[in-house]
Amino acid sequence: MTDIGAHVEQEDPVAEARARDTTVVQFFLGDPQSYKGPVVRYAGGAAGLRADAEAAGISLYVHAPYPINVAATNNRIRIPGRKLLQQHLLAAAEIGAKGVIVHGGHLGKDEDASIGFDNWRKCVDGLDLPIPLLIENTAGGDNAMARRVDAIARLWDAIGSASGSDDVGFCLDTCHAHAGGNDLSTIVDQVLAITGRIDLVHANDSRDEFDSGADRHTNFGSGFIDAAELADVVRAAGAPAVCETPGGVDGQSADIQWLRGRLG
């Protein structure tokens, strides 16, 4: 049975998991919109969170801050992003997280995409990976590193030659895949053929139509993704799923139950 959880507030992920009757939670460490380093806001600190989560049988995942774009050609974006990503990997390892999720990033529309893919190779080559780094597909940008399947293939080709590439996995976001112009009926097989693995699913409906390029999540059944198709993706991926949907405890609990009901 697929474990289905949610993205929650970071102060007490264990309590957040219990409130949603789940054993899987994802959260930020610190400010998701900042280049400031990670902060563990759990009252018991990193060691306390690790111990309490293990005792409760709860799997923790950390989402890296949004500004990180290690593909960027701009040194003032790329270099601080690499540093921040490394800091989050080390902090997430301290709390016993299963992985750190980071967006694939993008280049400007007139920039050479091959530079971005090679910047990813250099990044992975230079990282200390105490836990898996999970690259997430993104919804928008015509020159994105992980929006469409062909770009994901180029990304995996690039990072495959980096030391530590065995510790790089994939996070498949259903809203991003749909809004990014990927066929959900084939996306799992395509990604597995490229990466050999899907480590986590971000299970989200989309407020926008297919190939819109818009990253706007919504609760299951209220967006543009077919219900059966969404459930099929989660089932086929064979990985834990995290609902990054609105509505707090009530909204996410309903989404967790919705998805559980369709997975059987």
| pLDDT tens profile 106-156 | 999 999 999 999 999 999 999 999 999 999 999 999 999 999 999 999 999
Q: How much is the average pLDDT of 227-237?
A: 98
pLDDT of res. 174: 98
Average pLDDT over residues 27-56: 97
Residue type, 204: N
The CATH architecture to which 4-263 belongs is Alpha-Beta Barrel (3.20)
Using the predicted structure, report yes or no on whether residue 1 has a pLDDT greater than 90. Answer: no
Cα 12 to the center of its chain, rounded Å: 20
Q: What is the β-pairing status of strands 205-206 and 217-218?
A: antiparallel
Beta bridge partners of 63: 101
Q: Please, which residues have CB within 8 angstroms of residue 169's CB and are 6 or more apart in sequence?
A: 99, 132, 133, 134, 135, 195, 197, 198, 199, 200
CA 112 to chain centre: 25
Res 51 pLDDT > 90:
yes
Asked whether the beta carbons of 65 and 84 are under 8 A apart, the reply is: yes
The per-residue pLDDT for range 64-79, each reduced to its tens digit, is 999 999 999 999 999 9
The mean per-residue pLDDT over the stretch 39-66 comes to 98
Q: Report the alpha-carbon distance of residue 37 to residue 205 in Å, rounded.
A: 31
Q: Tell me the average pLDDT of the chain.
A: 97
The 8-class DSSP code of residue 167 comes to G
Give the model's confidence band at 63: pLDDT under 50 very low, under 70 low, under 90 confident, else very high.
very high
Q: Model confidence at 264, in pLDDT bands (50, 70, 90)?
A: confident
Amino acid at 186: T
Read off the pLDDT of each residue in 89-95 and give the average, rounded to a whole number: 98
